[in-house]
Amino acid sequence: VPRTPERPRGCGVVTLLTDFGLDGHHAGVLHGVILGVNPAARVVDLSHGVPPGDLAHAAWSLLWSRRFFPPGTVHVAVVDPGVGTPRRAVAASAGGQLFVGPDNGVLSFALADAGDARAVSLPVSAGPGISATFHGRDVFAPAAARLSLGTPLARLGPPLADVVRLPRPIAARRPDGAVAGEIVAVDRWGNLVTSVTADDLRRAGMGPGSVVRVGRRVIRGLRRCYGEVAPGEAAALVNSNGHLEIAVNRGRADERFAAGRGTAAVVSRR
Amino acid sequence: VPRTPERPRGCGVVTLLTDFGLDGHHAGVLHGVILGVNPAARVVDLSHGVPPGDLAHAAWSLLWSRRFFPPGTVHVAVVDPGVGTPRRAVAASAGGQLFVGPDNGVLSFALADAGDARAVSLPVSAGPGISATFHGRDVFAPAAARLSLGTPLARLGPPLADVVRLPRPIAARRPDGAVAGEIVAVDRWGNLVTSVTADDLRRAGMGPGSVVRVGRRVIRGLRRCYGEVAPGEAAALVNSNGHLEIAVNRGRADERFAAGRGTAAVVSRR
Amino acid sequence: VPRTPERPRGCGVVTLLTDFGLDGHHAGVLHGVILGVNPAARVVDLSHGVPPGDLAHAAWSLLWSRRFFPPGTVHVAVVDPGVGTPRRAVAASAGGQLFVGPDNGVLSFALADAGDARAVSLPVSAGPGISATFHGRDVFAPAAARLSLGTPLARLGPPLADVVRLPRPIAARRPDGAVAGEIVAVDRWGNLVTSVTADDLRRAGMGPGSVVRVGRRVIRGLRRCYGEVAPGEAAALVNSNGHLEIAVNRGRADERFAAGRGTAAVVSRR
């Protein structure tokens, strides 16, 4: 795994993405475990607010975040409804970063995006010190800490060829030239993030005059930012992660359009 | 900007104050951007719980927090409903610390309080790598990281003389000697923080026997701490930021007094 | 206090456990105070989501977290409804770690568990710079920062022999051989954590065929993990902190069983 020259060995960044919430001590304990193994690690809470068990939410978050972290960063994602069952545990390298989590697809968008993923299977012994219900603490955090110290991936377990992949909605070009996608995420402000990317729009020749249909509602024009429309008005724009998004300036698009994950979003020339 | 001698160059503290919430990956990504530029920065989440778009909430929080951070700290405040519009971006030094954010007033209480503010205008090019909707990630975090490395403020942009100021409620002395202010913040416990400061009270000769009126309700006496009144009783006291506050011991003053931001709060001798 | 050899003096971990929530700047300010005293401290948010004033919640969290942090860690717990009243402030060492907080029992489960606790009374002068309402910022964080620098405990104040202890529910063996406990915590997923420990179960000869009664409801069998029962089914298992827990796989046990803290939980052979 490549490392930036200015980052001394062992001072790497470790990010945490979980559905633990912040009301309990579960997220904080991960910091303790990591700092116990690697006192110089920089542990960053990417988010602990993944809706409980929501693998797709976490997979998108990781995909959209990873490129803003330095080379060598170790990303830990623990959304793990199957903890303690025979589901496998995985550590992987991809795109110059490292990834650790349950083998249930939570890492798969990020791994697929990087293109050069290599994975190993983390041993999950049920021995002393390994609970059957908190592998974030007992399996994933220790593995991440070791990786942040520079331990080679291959040292953590045998190669794993068939990492579980989560189905990923991808926009499709329709015969009439339209780009047909769907809403894949709703953010804190009620903005509707679609599976349609800036690349999809470019390839289909869409531009400022294009029209977006969300369910049965129509939004005319592609904007550049929320403030380009008056407060209370809807805007379709390419968001900061390169995805088409439908927003209401200073309002909530999810409520306005009664839309959520899975709702169809179609872009056409007019 | 002065730095403490024991803090080596580049190890500075960077604080983050946003309305991003913690459920998404937006706050976490700022850590990644900053650590990518300055691997030794100490990034502190001041809060990501500013109500969406609430500039005054953030401006007060920054004002009340800054003096508890070391010299040289870089404070990033991103409450930015106008992102992508021609609003300016600003970096400033004041009181031995540095401040970065949109030029919409969010920094203005802290800058005014320090008295010696100098500001520059951050360039916001719409080039590659700069989104039109997430300047926290693409403009403010990188600027803060550079400042935390010791880059001089003047290197970040041309001087900016007329930083936008947010209107700041200040208590007034009435002809009858009373101090007339208003509620400017409600905290997590339902405590009502007013614009009346300890200085205002001292100058007006208020003391333990003074009387506070919130809307039409009366609280008799100024206390020193919540526990000085019985559980369920209301207390008026000077809070830890030097502002008059109305609280209900182990209860919620906002509900008891049906009061919120903007409600009048008047202190008189009797 | 023992320190790991690889952790240089002053780079110690400081954890924060409070009921401040994350919407205000109160939690963030603690980081600033600590980094102002010890720029090399690693400050970890254990949680700021303790329900307001809930001492037992915080005491259990600290007990269940401490062993996952490195030797020399300084734990700060601020759940402090009596702030400003004559309640004492305490710093203590126990089990190779350090603890700081109000002397109201919030530290007592962790101190009792370690067995070798020594405590001192922190002076709480009402002088300048010490508010009467925010000792987390003005008393506890500075004391913790000094301890993290290696300042000996005895330097912080005179010995304190009679630290306040919170009543701690402990399971009891009944004449008929059953283990009678109660629910002591409900976590984010609605899981019901009981006062019955793995040791209690072992000593009473309980095993996979045992039966748990929560209020009037019966759960048959002790499981190893949530996924051992079908989604929607209830499972009793020993959780990752060694306590008997009642869960509903992908559901909420607190709602299913209309149970909460204080509800009886009894384990019997059949």
User: Which secondary-structure segment (H or E) carries C124?
Assistant: none
Residue C116 CA to residue C112 CA, distance in Å, equals 8
Tokens of B85: 């519009």
Residues from chain A contacting residue B27 (CB–CB below 8 Å):
47
pLDDT digits (tens, 9 = 90+) for B27-84: 999 999 999 999 999 999 999 999 989 999 999 999 999 999 999 999 999 999 888 7
Chains that touch C (3 or more CB pairs under 8 A): A, B
H/E element, B113: helix B108-114
Asked whether residue C9 carries a pLDDT value surpassing 70, the answer given is no
**Residue B244 scores a pLDDT above 80:** yes
Q: Does B133 touch chain A (CB under 8 A)?
A: yes
- Pairing type for strands A264-268 and A211-214 reads antiparallel
CA distances to B85, C48, C107, C142 from C28, rounded to whole Å, are: 30, 10, 22, 14
What average pLDDT does this structure show over C168-183?
A: 96
Residues of B in contact with A109 (CB under 8 A): none
Query: What confidence tens digit (pLDDT) does each residue in A91-123 have?
Result: 999 999 999 999 999 999 999 988 899 999 999
Quick check: C23 and B65 CB within 8 A?
A: no
CA B138 to chain C, closest CA, distance in angstroms equals 23
Chain A residues whose CB is inside 8 A of the B11 CB are: none
State the best of B9, B25, B104 to mutate against chain A, taking most chain A CBs within 10 Å.
B25
Residues facing residue B44 across a β-bridge: B15
Q: What is the value of pTM for the model shown?
A: 0.94
Q: How far apart are alpha carbons C37 and C43 in whole angstroms?
A: 12
Q: Minimal Cα–Cα distance from B127 to chain A, Å?
A: 13
CB contacts, 8 Å: B45 with chain A: 45
Residues 6+ apart with CB under 8 A from B192: B183, B185, B186, B214, B245, B246, B247, B253, B254, B257, B259, B260, B263, B265
Nearest CA in chain C to B64: C25
Q: Which residues of B touch A65 (CB under 8 A)?
A: 25, 28-29, 32
pLDDT in tens, B172-222: 999 999 999 999 999 888 999 999 999 999 999 999 999 999 988 999 999
B138 touches chain A (CB under 8 A): yes
Q: How confident is the model at residue C225 (pLDDT cuts 50, 70, 90)?
A: confident
CA neighbor of C49 nearest in space, from B232, B31, B188: B188
Q: Confidence class of residue A2 from pLDDT cuts 50, 70 and 90?
A: very low
Whether residues C44 and A39 touch (CB distance < 8 A) is answered with: no
A9/B contact by beta carbon, under 8 A: no
Out of A189-203, B82-96, C3-17, C44-58, least confident range: C3-17
Q: Residue A158 has which token pair?
A: 């045998």
Q: Indicate the pLDDT class of residue C8, thresholds 50, 70 and 90.
A: very low
Residues from chain B contacting residue A48 (CB–CB below 8 Å) = 22
8 Å CB contact of C240 and A137? yes
Q: How confident is the model at residue C234 (pLDDT cuts 50, 70, 90)?
A: very high
Interface probe, candidates C19, C23, C25, chain B, greatest B C-beta count within 10 A: C25
Q: Which residues pair with B223 in a beta bridge?
A: B237
Interface test with A, best of C17, C20, C46 (most A CBs within 10 A): C46
A23 vs C64: CB contact, 8 Å cut-off?
no
Work out the pLDDT band at C165, boundaries 50, 70, 90.
very high
User: How many A-B residue pairs are in contact by the CB < 8 A criterion?
Assistant: 97
Contacts of C52 in chain B (CB under 8 A): 188-189
* pLDDT category of residue B238 using cuts at 50, 70 and 90: very high
Nearest to C224 among A20, A52, A84 (CB): A84
- Work out the minimum CA distance from C49 to partner chain B, whole angstroms: 11
Terminal CA-to-CA distance of chain C, rounded, Å? 47
CA nearest C84 in B: which residue? B225
Q: Which of C42, C47, C69 is nearest residue A22 as measured by Cβ atoms?
A: C47
Residue C81 at interface with chain B, using a CB cutoff of 8 Å: yes
Tokens describing residue A225 = 């930012």
Residues A234-270 pLDDT 10s: 999 999 999 999 999 989 999 999 999 999 999 999 8
- Judge whether C93 is closer than 8 Å to chain A, CB to CB: no
* pLDDT of residue B8 exceeding 50: no
> So what's the pLDDT on residue A215?
87
pLDDT digits (tens, 9 = 90+) for C185-219: 999 889 999 999 999 999 999 999 999 999 889 99
The band of A77, judged by pLDDT with boundaries at 50, 70 and 90, is very high
Task: Please report the DSSP string for B202-255 in residue order.
Answer: HHTT--TT-EEEETTEEEESEESSGGGS-TT-EEEEE-TTSEEEEEETTS-HHH
Cα–Cα distance between C201 and C177 in angstroms, integer? 11
Mean pLDDT for chain B?
92
pLDDT at A3 over 70: no
Average pLDDT estimate for B237-263: 95
Assess whether pLDDT exceeds 70 at residue C117: yes
Mean pLDDT value across residues C68-88:
92
- Residue C248's pLDDT is what? 94
Residue A117 confidence (pLDDT): 95
Rounded distance between C-alpha atoms, residue B58 and residue B81, angstroms: 13
From start to end of chain A, where are the E strands?
Answer: 13-18, 42-47, 74-78, 89-94, 97-102, 118-122, 172-173, 179-186, 192-197, 211-214, 217-220, 222-223, 234-238, 243-248, 264-268
Beta strands in C29-112 (DSSP E): 42-47, 74-78, 89-94, 97-102
Across the interface, of C11, C68, C187, the residue whose CB is closest to A33 is C68
Which of B42, B69, B250 shows the shortest C-beta gap to C53? B250
CA dist., res. A45 & res. A28, Å (int):
9
Helix, strand or coil, per DSSP, at residue C248: strand
> Does C68 sit within 8 Å of A137, measured CB to CB?
yes
pLDDT at residue B246 in the model: 97
Residue B10 has what pLDDT? 64
ipTM value: 0.93
Nearest one of B246, C23, B8, B37 to A22, comparing CA atoms: C23
- pLDDT score of B236 more than 60: yes
Q: What is the residue whose two structure tokens read 């709480």?
A: C124
A189: left (phi over 0), alpha (psi -120 to 50) or beta: alpha
